[in-house]
Amino acid sequence: MRRQVINPAWNATLTGLRISRCSQRNFASVSSATPSSRSHKIVVVGAGTAGIAVSHQLLRANKFSPQDIAIIDPAAWHHYQPGWTLVGGGLKNKEDLRRKLVDLLDPRLKFYNSGVATIAPEDNSVTLADGNKLNYEQLVVAPGLSINYDGIQGLHDALHDPSSQVSTIYNYDTCDKAFLTVERLNKGTAIFTQPAGVIKCAGAPQKVMWLALDYWKRAGLYSPTNPSSSAINITFATGLPAMFAVPKYAAKLEELRKERGVEGLFQHDLVSIDGNVATFARPNGDAKVARKFDLLHVVPKMGAPKFIKDSGIGNEAGYVDVDDHSLRHKKYPNIWSAGDASSLPTSKTAAAVTSEAPVLVRNLLQVMGGQQPDAAYDGYTSCPLLTEYGKVLLAEFKYGGEPKETFDDWLGIDQVEPRRAFYHLKKDFFPWVYYASMVKGTWGGPKGWIN
Ligand code: UQ1
């Protein structure tokens, strides 16, 4: 394990972030410097998947001069986070999935490598962590999610202990530890958790498990047809009531779970780790359940960065309160949001951003041109769910949990069946097209190349 370097700026966050200096972007710290004030036509908060795609799609409209658009992000690195499940399965090196953020940004963008202290929507301004103030005509808020490592007692220390069998793929620093723990296990109980509540990429918690299962199967340590006499036994413990939120895919994944002898603990929400004991909360005040483990893959709790709610632009749950279809703020018509920190009631993925960004950009440009915005997002999102080495179930759906399958529409292929072609999309094509096109504003997901 690499030594952890703790970013002192994080001390100011209330979310309890204490893990990676680069995979998490801290937007809520304040430091002192000589404050100044600048104006931009558009300010974009966040240079993750949504912020960077939106910024570059805006530039490609050829309506802006250099520095008309500003982008704010405190991070040094930009990560292809969908690849971290592949790192957890030993299929990729995490170093290959990141780029220096500054190298991805078009020089026509004004880059503020800083966090955000607060947004003042009535004043059309953003105050940066370094005290500088930016005025905007239009604001795009896309800071992503914060991970609350302190939401599970004992998690922080267990993750940082190189000898522990506790890991998570939801972090640059520990995504490779996940595979080490899988390789190291030769007998006992492996538990894979998923919290109650919203996380990014809701399928990832079980992707890691399916790959680990396949790894142990190939190593002769797990027999799906005879789990009770296998050296390793496997449990999926989720805070949710089913394997997946969309009934079509949930049914298939439940079938796989049973077929493969994986124990399912539903509505079991991990709350603490103490040595080799994991404790789960149950609904309705039922007694907590404690389980011994020899390997624990944890998915921490997540939420929107606190400055969103503090700035008065969040909904009850703290996400940027935008219209489900126009992506325009419900109260402030010159504020927009896409990506994980938005209130859009869909599964939070990079695939969702492929459909959200063009809608946001079109509507924002129409509003700037004095027109009515006419583009509507239908909730499209996708989860390329690794079910074993070499196979992916390509879940694609829209609002209402209704399947919207690209290859069914196109070729009549039912995507509920795990396939090798989808595996190569996930492992080879998406990581490539992401850096070759998506971050440049030229990838429209199921629509193919755009702009
Ligand atoms: C996609 O465009 C994309 O972006 C690179 C992904 O990576 C995170 C995806 O997982 C998916 C599913 C898409 C959607 C594109 C197609 C062709 C189905």
Tens of pLDDT, residue by residue over 367-410, are 999 999 999 999 999 999 999 999 999 999 999 999 999 999 88
- Across 17-31, average pLDDT: 44
Query: Could you tell me if 356 and 448 are in contact, meaning their C-beta atoms sit under 8 angstroms apart?
Result: no
Q: What's the burial of 331, exposed, middle or buried (CB within 10 Å: 0-12/13-18/19+)?
A: exposed
Q: Whose CA is nearest to atom 18 of ligand 1?
A: 446
Q: Catalytic: which of 72, 155, 299, 383?
A: 383
User: From the CA of 279, how far away is ligand 1's center (Å)?
Assistant: 36
201 is catalytic: yes
Q: Is 433 in the pocket of ligand 1 (CB under 6 A)?
A: yes
Query: Could you tell me if 180 and 207 are in contact, meaning their C-beta atoms sit under 8 angstroms apart?
Result: no
Residue 230 pLDDT more than 90?
A: yes
Q: Whose CA is nearest to atom 17 of ligand 1?
A: 446
User: From the CA of 9, how far away is ligand 1's center (Å)?
Assistant: 34
Name which of 20-24, 113-117, 270-274 the model is least confident about: 20-24
Q: Is the domain covering 37-145+304-379+428-447 a CATH 3.40.50.2000 domain?
A: no
Name which of 95-99, 139-143, 209-213, 225-229 the model is least confident about: 225-229
Please tell me the distance from the alpha carbon of residue 232 to that of residue 219, in angstroms, as a whole number.
Answer: 11
Q: Tokens 């109980």 correspond to what residue? A: 189
> β-pairing, 146-148 with 301-303?
antiparallel
Query: Could you tell me if 126 and 139 are in contact, meaning their C-beta atoms sit under 8 angstroms apart?
Result: yes
Phi-psi region of 313 (alpha: psi -120 to 50; beta: other; left: phi over 0): alpha
- Across 78-89, average pLDDT: 98
* pLDDT band, very low/low/confident/very high, at 27 (cuts 50, 70, 90): low
Q: What is the DSSP string of 415-443?
A: TTS-BHHHHHIIIIIHHHHHHHTGGGT-B
Residue 12 pLDDT more than 90?
A: no
- What phi and psi, each to the nearest 5 degrees, are found at residue 127? -105, 125
Considering the chain, tell me which residue range(s) the CATH 3.50.50.60 domain(s) occupy: 37-145+304-379+428-447, 152-301
CA dihedral 404→428→441→363, nearest 10 degrees, is 10
Residue 262: C-alpha distances to residues 187, 221, 256, 258, 388 (Å): 15, 14, 9, 6, 14
Tokens of residue 88, six digits: 């957890």
User: From the CA of 114, how far away is ligand 1's center (Å)?
Assistant: 29
Q: Regarding the domain with residue range 152-301, which homologous superfamily does it belong to in the CATH classification?
A: FAD/NAD(P)-binding domain (3.50.50.60)
**127 or 14: whose pLDDT is higher?**
127
Q: What pLDDT score was predicted for residue 26?
A: 56
- Across 344-362, average pLDDT: 98
Provide the whole-model pTM.
Answer: 0.92
Please tell me the distance from the alpha carbon of residue 442 to that of residue 187, in angstroms, as a whole number.
Answer: 47
Measured from the CA of 396, which atom of ligand 1 is nearest? 12
User: From the CA of 434, how far away is ligand 1's center (Å)?
Assistant: 9
Q: What's the burial of 412, exposed, middle or buried (CB within 10 Å: 0-12/13-18/19+)?
A: exposed
Q: Is 446 in the pocket of ligand 1 (CB under 6 A)?
A: yes
- Across 91-97, average pLDDT: 98
Contacting residues for 167 by C-beta, under 8 A, at least 6 apart: 88, 159, 174, 175, 177, 178, 180, 181, 296, 297, 298
